[in-house]
Every structure is written in structure tokens, then in C-alpha cells.
Structure 1
Amino acid sequence: MTIPLRSESTESPSARSRLVTPAQAWYAVAILTIANVSGFVDRQILSLLVEPIKRDLQVTDTQVSLLMGLGFVVFYSLLGLPIGRWVDRGHRPRIVALGAMVWSVMTMLTGTARSYAHLFLARVGVGAGEATLGPAAVSIIADQFPRKRLGVAMSTYMMGTFLGSGVAYALGAYVVGRVDKPGVVTVPLVGDVYPWQLVFFFVGLPGILVALLALTMREPRVFTKAADARAATVQAPFSEVLAHLRANARTVGALSLGFACSSSVNYGIGAWLATFLIRTHGWTVLEAGTLQGVLTFTIGPLGVMLGGRLTDAWSKQGHIDAPLRVGMLGALGMLVFAGLYPLVPSAMFAAALLVPVNIFAAMPWGAANAAIAEAMPPRMRGQGSAMYQLVVNLLSGAMGPTAVALLTDKVFRDPLALRYSLTVSTVVGMSLAIALLAWARPAFRTTLSRQRAEADAAA
């Protein structure tokens, strides 16, 4: 059995005749999901080693925050733009493989850092490597699945986000007490390193295997006939990409900003949940980190797959705007449960409410990738995905944790009022997400209908 590559925008008839088997398509999803797990472990682990890093490298909280913010998110987001253009014309599995090799090597170089500058440059390198994955994965998956199965495929890939984050939280909670000690240890071929730096060797090494696995994925573009192989890989000029974005500004802008608001709330909760449990309910670092890791690792994947299945089910019922509906449902669930858990008096009640919080927090993200993939013509999906990620990552990375901190410091002026800051940021952020995604729905339907009409005319 074979399935046609998706072609709901303007492509040549010969390009639309390209075929991949379901096994090949799902194999690619599996490899990309594993890559996503590896990337998120490498990305998140630093946040759990703040105290030993400060002690041994003599740095401040602000400098550490720059490693997780400026040193990663900004470069990760901005480098996505040229990488997206490369994705639209290049061999995508090789791009993923190169990126995985870069982020793995740079993670291990973090384990050799003897100064803040060295550590900062290593984190920039991790961000540069991981910037290849999102645009390439969205482009590869969208090319290989029909629209009515795209939600589950994208959600499977996005499971890696929650599996990787969960592993990082749980691993960090487990090892922090074992590596948070002075002195050095000797690593063969490397020399003396601080004990906490060993973590970066353990989490970086698996990425090299990911790079090798990525090379085993098929690049669907090579399956075109020789006569139109060149046409299939012609990159859309940047002027054409901008023209498409201008013509569909409400679609792309509103869905990007809507999902960015949703992501900002998630980032804020991720950054401050453990501190909330410690300050409000007297939990230990180990207890808070373990709960956060277990919930992210187990409930997060269930939530993202539920969102994917809902997306596909609504698509089969004829709802063109299915991904945006799922985004709105996830935001509504967060508005209720994430707005409530910080306010309840019992720690156990709060922990129980974190189960639906994790479900609704994860629900939209396969749908979000499906939405941006459908909003862009196939030959500019890499660039479209990179621009979407630029908006989401910069806004959520900058606004999410900072909004909670500013509310605590400047509005409530009490560290113990963190619970109220979490509730206020959730209610405001998710209300904006619902409003923006609702505003995007009619424009999104118009964009997809226009692209299908153009594809039919081209056929």
C-alpha cells in the first residue's frame, strides 16, 4: 500500500504523483520524535543545574538566565529563518542529521566549559543545532501525510517535547543532589571537569545516534522523475514567501500569536511550578521536580495525542479549521484548571489538578504544527514554520516566565504571592489565546480554500 504525498497547494501533477509507503512515513515520524526527545533533554537540563553552575563558575542569576534565554531562545529562533530557507530546497534528513550532531557535540562541550563565555558559546551552539529540527520535521511530515491524518502524525512528533522535558525534569531532580558538590572529577580524553558537567556528557551522547538514524530517513523529493526533479526542489523566492504572508496576514499572524500566548502560559508554569510547590506547600526540590517530571513525561504525551486525534476527527467531519478548534479547547481547559490549581489550599488537591493541566497544556501542539503546515504552500513550509516558531519561541520565552516574576515582584510584592501571579498570567494569556484563535478561524478557512482551488486549477 502507498499513500500520496500531500499536495493541497500548487504543485505539478508529476510532483503530486510521488508516493511513500505508510511504513516509510511513520518511520520518519518515529525518528523525528526521537530527535525531539533528545533535543529537549539537552535544552532543559541546564535549568536544573543552576546552583552548582553559579558556585563553580562564579556567575549570577541574571547570567544563568541569559544561558536559557538569550543564549538559546534568541539564536534558536533567529537561525530558524535561514535554516527554513535551506529546508525548502535541501535534503531534509541530512539537515536533521547535521543539526543533531551539532547540538549533541555542543551539549558535550558544555561539559568542558571552564568559564561563563565558554558556557554561553556552547549554549548558542546547542540552539543553532536544534534550530534545524522544527522546520525540517514540519516539512517532512506535512509532505507525507494526507490532511485527515496530519494531526496524529504531528502530535506523535510533538510527544518528543513532553517526553524530553519530563526526562530532563526527573533526571535533574534525581541527580542534582549527587552532582551539587565542590571539586573536580577526571574524564578520559577530556581532563578535569566539575561533577555537574558529567550530566552534559550523558545527555549529549545519544544525539550522535539520533544523527545517524536521521540519515536512514527517505527524502521524498528524490522520488520525482528526473524530468521534474529540479522543479520539485526549486525554492520559493523570499519575495514570494512575503507575498503569501501579506495575502494571508490574518491567518498566519493570528494563529502564530494565539499559539504564542498559549505557549507563554506553559513556559511560565514550567519555570515556576516547582518554586510554587516549594514556597506555597513546603515541598522539597526533589519532590517538586519529581512530580513535574512524572506528569510531563506521562500525562503530556496523552494530551498531545488526544489533540491530534481530535484534529483528525474534526477534519474528517469537514471542519477545515480543526487545528484551531483544538487550540481553543486546550486554552479553555487551561483557563479553568491552570487558573485554579494555584489557589486551592491543599497540596494534594493542587497536584490532582495538575493532571488536567498537563492534558490541556499539551493538547494544542500537534494541531499547531498542522495549522502552520496547512497555511503555507509546500515549497515554502520550511520558511513558514521557521517564522511561526520565531514568533512563538521569542514571545513565549521572553514573556512567559518573566510575566509571572514581574507580577510577583512589582504587583503583589511578596514571594509567597507567586500563586496569584500564576493564576493571573494564566487567565490573561489563555483568554488572549482563545480570542486570537477565534479571530483566525474564518481567515484560515479562506486560506485553505484558496490553496485548494489553486491546486485544482494547476492540475
Structure 2
Amino acid sequence: MNDKTLEIDAVERNIQPESKQFEAAHPIDLPATPSSQDSSSTYQWYVVIICMVAYILSFVDRQILSLMIEPIKADLMLSDTQFSLLQGLAFSLFYAFMGVPIAALADKKSRIKIISIGIAFWSLATAACGLSKNFIQMFLARLSVGAGEAALSPAFYSIVADLFPKEKLGRALGVYAIGAFIGSGLAFLIGGYVIGLLKEVDFVVLPLIGELKTWQLTFFLVGLPGVLLALVMILTVREPSRKGVKVGQDGEVVKASFKNSVAFIKLHKKTFFCHFIGFSFYTMMLYSLLGWAPAYYMRHFGLDASQTGYVLGCIILVANTAGALFCGWLIDFFSKRGYSDAAIRAGALGCAALIIPSVLFTQVDNLYLSFALIFVAMFFSTFPIPASAAATQMLTPNQLRAQVSAKFLLISNLIALGVGTTAVALITDNYFENTLMVGNSISIVNAVAGVIGVFLLYKGCRYYRDSIQHEKLN
């Protein structure tokens, strides 16, 4: 390899000719000179924290809907199945599909700018949910929320792998992942507070907008702060140097392209099949809990929206946050002890531990026992976010990381969020034909998804070890 190739700037690498023999390509760390900001531990964690705050807002914006199920259904005249489409398919459709082209840009252009634009877009789209007058308007607004949020995770996963060594990657991803659960917890707490505060108020009047119901006002309150965060990010975070770029035998950098990302996945097809599908079914259990637990407690135990929001919000803030951090620690623990399949291994263990509590919490008649079981379930339900991300970043070369991550999120969200949440509603509406039976629907979905997830992740550990070894040898 000549000196000229080694001096290629990170921004220019993506325009080089692609290798003719992709399978023979091997990863190296080009001797880029990182800026002082890149090498500062404090700055590295600042980037993680600000992206975690963005992740918090994204989950507040997507999750607030589930707590307001009853007033939204009443005002927009929706069935459980229609509501599940707003909660799952409407969001996941654009979240999944827009992630692929956005990730292609993230592998070539400024990831920080892409994330900042995405934050502003989904925040405005969340506020637009509060203007919805019917199912179609709400569906389109939720599509836009998903499109904006698609910019965050693939780009962040690519950035964090440039900021941290592999033995610290699990903790960094664990800290980022807690944003999902702080966001979900805050969604329930904020929603419960606003609903309780305004329960005697039929509507409020805003200048230029007019009359709004309580649930519509809630969307404005949780959506607009994201615009300020987008400004903070664009002004304070710089694009990090790209590391671990893949080059071919001829010394030329493999082009960041859709074709090459697909070729890399095909090269490790058994690994990625178990990874993508296994973590998708694992994540399905998480979304069935987040999406339908509020409805279960309100319908089965007679709690109101405020009570449900406060209790579930506290459970999620404690159990899910602790679970995400524990998973990150567990990945690093396995990595330091020489397990090349550390992330997949942690995921398989978490999925196995989740099955029993996620099925049983709807099958007990004691409210406090149900809360105890869902606490345990929420703890283990967090593992797929840091574990799936770490597994992808440890195996994939730099210029393909965002695109491979986006393809995983495409499949995961269509299966977990699109199919999973809707499956609960379909079983309730069409099999039980009784909305009070939503708890049994949750148990059925979680039992099936859990068994499939454990089986595929267990099988995937061996395939993942083989893939890591292949990349080291080539």
C-alpha cells in the first residue's frame, strides 16, 4: 500500500474505487490523526450523553401515544387494531425504510449534521400529531416521526465505534441505550402528570392554533424541546475521524455503497440471519410490554391513566435503565475474557431470562405481584438495544457500519414494532373479541417471540465467532 492511499481523508474515502474481490478485503486502522476532541475522554462521553438525550426525546415522542390510548380512540373513533397501526406500523414503516438511504449518507457525509436535522424533523412531526383530527392525519404524522428518528441510531452507532475501543464499546452503547428507557419512563410520567393536571379540562386554547384536547396539548409539550437540542448538537459536536476503514488487496478503500453493504451481509449470511431475526423477536417482546402494558393495567385492574403512567414510568426508569447499563457491562465483561461473541452471548442470556416474567405478569390476579414481575421483565427487555448494536459494530468495517445497522433496524422494526404490537391487537380483536383479554394476547406474543429469539441467538453465537475469525484472517 502506498503512502498516498494511507493519507486519504476520512471524508474522501467513500469515493475511491471499490475492491474487485470483496471477500479478500481486510480491515485496518488508517493512521488518521484524531483531533484533540476525538481523543478526550470527557468529550467522547459528552457525545454519547448528548446523543442519549436525543434518544430520550425520541422515545418520549414515540411512546407517549400508548398512555393516551383511551382518549385518542374516543376522539378519533378508533379500534384497537387501528390504534396499533398508529403505534406500530405507522411509526415503523418510515423509521425502517428511511433508515437505509439516511444510513448511506451517514457512511459518506457528516453524521452529526444528519442527526441534528433528524432531531428537528421528528420533534416538529410529534407536535403535528397534536393537530390530528382523524386517523389518516395521525397516521401521516406518525410516519413523519418515524422518518426523522431513522436518522439517529445508525449514525450514532457509526460514530461511537470511532470514539471508543472495542473493550469499552459495550458501556458506551449501554449508556446510549438507557435513553430509550428514560424516554419511555418520562413519556408515562409526563403523560400521566398532564392528564391528571388537566383531567377536569375539556380543552385548552393556544394562540394561532385554537382549541386543543388534553392529549393534543401533550404532543406539543413533548415535541418542541427537540428543536433546541438539534441546535445544541450542531453547535457543540464535531464529526469524529473515521477509523477501521476496510481496504482491498490492491490497497484501495472499499466504497461505502449499498451494494458493498449487501455483499458484506451475504458474506456472513448465517451470522446476520441469526442476529437480525433473533434480536428482532427479542425486541418484539420489549415493544409488546411498552406498547400494551398501560392498556392491560387500565383495563384489567381499573387504574386510570395518571396512576398507570406514574407506576410504569417509575418501573421503566429504574428497571430498564439498570438493565441497559448491566447489559453494556456484561458485554465488556465477556469481551475482556476473550469471548468474541460477547454481544450475541449477552443477548441470548437476556432473552432466555425475559420469557417467564413477560408471560406471567398478565396471568396473576395480585396487582403488586404483577408489578414485581413486569419489573423483572423490563430489566431483561433492555438487552437487545446495546447487544445488537455492539455485535454489528464489532464485526462491520467503518464505511459500512451505518448501512448495516440501518438494514438491521429495517428488519427489526418491521418485525418487532410493526408486526409485534399489531399481533397483540389482532389476537385481542379477532380471537378473544374482548378488549379485556389484552393481557392474554401479550403473553401469547411474548411466549412465541421469546422461544424463537433464544433459539436463533444461541445458534448465532457460533456463527458470529466464525465471522469474527474470518475478518481477522482476511
- TM-score (norm: length of structure 2): 0.85
Deviations 1:167-220 (A, max 9, x none): 111222222344567855332344443343221221112101210222111211
Determine whether 1:340 maps to 2:357.
no
Deviation of 1:33 (Å): 0.1
Q: 1:47 aligns with which of 62, 66, 69?
A: 66
Moved more, 139-148 or 396-405: 396-405
Counterpart AA for 2:366: S
Moved over 6 A (4+): 231-234
Q: Which residue of 1 aligns with 2:30?
A: 13
Alignment check: 8 A CA contact 2:323 2:379 kept: yes
Moved more, 119-128 or 282-291: 282-291
Q: Which residue of 2 aligns with 1:227?
A: none
Q: Which residue of 1 aligns with 2:412?
A: 392
Determine whether 1:154 maps to 2:160.
no
CA distance in 2, matches of 1:368, 1:383: 14
Q: 1:362 aligns with which of 373, 382, 388?
A: 382
Q: Which residue of 2 aligns with 1:307?
A: 327
Deviation of 1:98 (Å): 0.6
Q: Which residue of 1 aligns with 2:458?
A: 438
CA gap 1:174/1:208 in 2 versus in 1, 3 angstroms: same
Deviation of 1:326 (Å): 0.9
Q: Which residue of 1 aligns with 2:258?
A: 238
Counterpart AA for 2:31: S
Deviations 1:284-306 (A, max 9, x none): 33333322111111211001100
CA distance in 2, matches of 1:320, 1:234: 24
- Percent identity among equivalent residues? 35
- TM-score (norm: length of structure 1): 0.88
CA gap 1:16/1:410 in 2 versus in 1, 3 angstroms: farther
Q: Which residue of 2 aligns with 1:33?
A: 52
Counterpart AA for 2:123: S
Determine whether 1:129 maps to 2:159.
no
Moved more, 206-215 or 396-405: 396-405
Counterpart AA for 1:397: L
Moved more, 324-333 or 313-322: 324-333
- Root mean square deviation, CA, Å: 2.8
CA distance in 1, matches of 2:270, 2:325: 28
CA gap 1:22/1:45 in 2 versus in 1, 3 angstroms: same
What SS class does the counterpart of residue 13 from structure 1 fall into?
A: coil
Where in structure 1 are there 5+ consecutive unaligned residues? 225-230, 455-459
CA gap 1:283/1:193 in 2 versus in 1, 3 angstroms: closer
Q: Which residue of 1 aligns with 2:7?
A: none
Alignment check: 8 A CA contact 1:36 1:161 kept: yes
Alignment check: 8 A CA contact 2:84 2:421 kept: no
Deviation of 1:89 (Å): 0.4
What SS class does the counterpart of residue 221 from structure 1 fall into?
A: coil
Deviation of 1:396 (Å): 0.7
What SS class does the counterpart of residue 263 from structure 1 fall into?
A: helix
Counterpart AA for 2:90: G
What SS class does the counterpart of residue 199 from structure 1 fall into?
A: helix
Alignment check: 8 A CA contact 1:268 1:403 kept: no
Alignment check: 8 A CA contact 1:106 1:123 kept: yes
What SS class does the counterpart of residue 220 from structure 1 fall into?
A: coil
Where in structure 2 are there 5+ consecutive unaligned residues? 1-9, 11-24, 245-250
Alignment check: 8 A CA contact 2:88 2:419 kept: no
Alignment check: 8 A CA contact 1:252 1:375 kept: no
Deviations 1:61-105 (A, max 9, x none): 554433323321101110001001011001011111111111112
CA distance in 2, matches of 1:296, 1:12: 39
Counterpart AA for 2:473: A
Q: What is the number of equivalent residue pairs in this alignment?
A: 442
What SS class does the counterpart of residue 219 from structure 1 fall into?
A: coil
Determine whether 1:251 maps to 2:295.
no
